[in-house]
C-alpha cells in the first residue's frame, strides 16, 4: 500500500511539473506574439476634405456600411465585455474625447489601423476586421477620419483588449491570430468609388460590409475570429437565390427571411445595416444575387491568406 501511494505521489508530482512547463510555454509564447510589432507597415497620408458631404459619408460608413459602431459602441466611446477566462473584450474609444484618440492622431494612424490592422503603437490588432477593410477606397478612409474629427466627444477611458489564460492558450495554438498576419498589405485599394446602382458598386459595398463575416467568396461558415456563441454565417451564394430584391430589402430592415424565420440580429448586424439606402440595397442585390454558387464554408480567410491549406 505504502509503495503504491509513493508511486502515485511521484506520478502526480510529474503531472504537475508538466502542467507548469506547459503553462510557462503558453505564457511566454503568447507574450511574444502579443508584443510583436509591425514597424515596416505604414499608413497612407490621404487628403482629408472637411465639407459636409464628406462628413456625412463618413458617418454613414461608421454607423452602417463598415459597422465600426457595432464594435466601438453607437456613441463610439468604446465597448467592454468580460469574457474571462477567455478575454476582456475591449474596443477603443474612437472619439477625440478624454480617454479616446489623442489630438495628434493622424490620417496615417487611422489608415494604418483600418486598412493594415496595425495600431498606433505598432502592435497588431485582434478581432477588428481590417483583413477586408483593406479594400476600402482612399476617399472613404478620409471620410471616416473627417467624421471622427467632428463626432461628439465621449470622455471615457478605454482599457486595452486583454487575453486571459484560455485566450492565451488559444493564441499560442493558432486559434486566434494578430490580424496584420491575415491582411494583404500589398492590396491596391481604389482612390474613389462613386455610388451608383450597379453591380460594380454592389461588389465594393459587399467587400466593405459583408465579406468579413460571410467569407471571401460569400460561402459562409463559422465566423472568422468571431464570438464562438454566434451562429455560422449563411452561404449568400446559395441562400440569396431564394430572395427577391423586395424580400432582400425587407430582410436588411428586419432580419426576417422570406420564409418568415428571423436571424440572430446581433450576429447579423441588422442594427447597422437597416440604415442602408435604396441605392445601396439595389447595388448589393444586383451583385450578390448573381454570385456563382459555392460550397458552404469552403473559402476561409486563413486559406485566402495562405495560412491554411
Contacting positions for ligand HEC (CB under 6 A): 66-68, 70-72, 90-92, 94, 109-110, 113-114, 119-120, 125-129, 133, 144, 160-161, 206, 209-210, 212-214, 230-231, 233-234, 236, 239-240, 251, 257, 263-264, 267-269, 273, 284, 288
Give 227 or 308: the residue with its C-beta nearer to ligand HEC: 227
Cα(156)–Cα(98) distance, integer angstroms: 6
Q: Minimum distance between the CB of residue 5 and ligand HEC, rounded to whole angstroms?
A: 50
**C-alpha separations of 150 from 58, 94, 154, 160, 278 in Å:** 10, 12, 12, 24, 26
Q: Minimum distance between the CB of residue 303 and ligand HEC, rounded to whole angstroms?
A: 19
Q: Minimum distance between the CB of residue 225 and ligand HEC, rounded to whole angstroms?
A: 8
Give 120 or 185: the residue with its C-beta nearer to ligand HEC: 120
Give 10 or 297: the residue with its C-beta nearer to ligand HEC: 297
Nearest to 212 by CA among 307, 86, 70, 78: 70
Cα(309)–Cα(67) distance, integer angstroms: 30
Give 113 or 193: the residue with its C-beta nearer to ligand HEC: 113
Q: Minimum distance between the CB of residue 285 and ligand HEC, rounded to whole angstroms?
A: 9
Q: Minimum distance between the CB of residue 174 and ligand HEC, rounded to whole angstroms?
A: 19
Q: Minimum distance between the CB of residue 307 and ligand HEC, rounded to whole angstroms?
A: 19
Q: Minimum distance between the CB of residue 45 and ligand HEC, rounded to whole angstroms?
A: 16
Q: How far apart are the first and last CA of the chain?
A: 53
Give 144 or 146: the residue with its C-beta nearer to ligand HEC: 144
Locate 53 and state its grid cell: 458631404
Give 239 or 286: the residue with its C-beta nearer to ligand HEC: 239
H/E stretch holding 90: strand 87-90
The residues facing 221 across adjacent strands are 233
Q: Minimum distance between the CB of residue 287 and ligand HEC, rounded to whole angstroms?
A: 9
Nearest to 29 by CA among 174, 131, 155, 154: 174
Give 165 or 289: the residue with its C-beta nearer to ligand HEC: 289
Which residues, at least 6 apart from 172, have a Cβ–Cβ distance to it below 8 Å? Answer: 25, 26, 29, 30, 33
DSSP assignment string, 9-29:
HHHHHHHHHHHHHHHHHHHHH
With residues binned 3-state (H G I as helix, E B as strand, rest as coil), the percentages for the chain, rounded to 5, are: 45, 5, 50
Give 1 or 260: the residue with its C-beta nearer to ligand HEC: 260
Which residues, at least 6 apart from 262, have a Cβ–Cβ distance to it below 8 Å? Answer: 254, 255, 256
Amino acid at each position: 500500500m505504502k509503495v503504491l501511494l509513493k508511486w502515485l505521489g511521484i506520478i502526480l508530482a510529474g503531472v504537475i511539473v508538466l502542467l507548469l512547463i506547459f503553462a510557462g510555454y503558453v505564457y511566454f509564447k503568447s507574450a511574444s506574439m502579443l508584443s510583436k510589432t509591425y514597424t515596416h507597415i505604414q499608413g497612407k497620408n490621404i487628403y482629408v476634405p472637411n465639407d459636409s458631404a464628406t462628413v456625412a459619408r463618413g458617418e454613414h460608413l461608421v454607423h452602417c456600411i463598415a459597422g465600426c459602431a457595432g464594435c466601438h459602441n453607437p456613441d463610439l466611446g468604446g465597448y467592454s465585455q468580460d469574457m474571462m477566462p477567455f478575454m476582456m473584450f475591449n474596443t477603443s474609444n474612437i472619439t477625440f474625447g478624454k480617454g479616446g484618440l489623442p489630438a495628434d492622431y493622424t490620417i496615417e494612424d487611422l489608415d494604418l489601423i483600418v486598412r493594415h490592422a496595425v495600431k498606433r503603437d505598432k502592435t497588431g490588432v485582434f478581432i477588428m476586421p481590417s483583413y477586408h477593410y483593406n479594400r476600402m477606397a482612399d476617399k472613404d478612409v478620409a471620410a471616416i477620419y473627417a467624421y471622427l474629427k467632428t463626432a461628439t466627444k465621449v470622455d471615457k477611458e478605454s482599457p486595452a483588449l486583454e487575453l486571459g489564460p484560455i485566450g492565451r492558450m488559444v493564441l499560442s495554438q493558432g486559434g486566434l491570430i494578430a490580424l496584420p498576419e491575415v491582411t494583404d498589405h500589398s492590396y491596391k485599394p481604389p482612390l474613389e468609388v462613386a455610388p451608383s446602382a450597379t453591380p460594380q458598386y454592389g461588389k465594393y459595398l459587399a467587400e466593405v460590409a459583408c465579406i468579413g463575416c460571410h467569407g471571401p467568396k460569400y460561402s459562409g461558415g463559422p465566423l472568422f475570429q468571431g464570438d464562438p456563441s454566434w451562429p455560422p454565417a449563411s452561404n449568400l451564394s446559395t441562400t440569396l437565390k431564394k430572395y427577391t430584391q423586395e424580400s432582400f430589402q425587407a430582410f436588411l430592415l428586419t432580419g426576417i427571411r422570406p420564409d418568415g424565420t428571423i436571424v440572430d440580429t446581433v450576429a447579423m448586424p441588422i442594427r447597422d445595416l437597416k440604415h442602408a439606402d435604396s441605392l445601396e440595397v439595389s447595388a448589393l442585390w444586383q451583385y450578390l444575387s448573381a454570385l456563382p454558387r459555392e460550397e458552404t464554408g469552403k473559402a476561409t480567410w486563413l486559406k485566402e491568406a495562405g495560412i491554411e491549406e
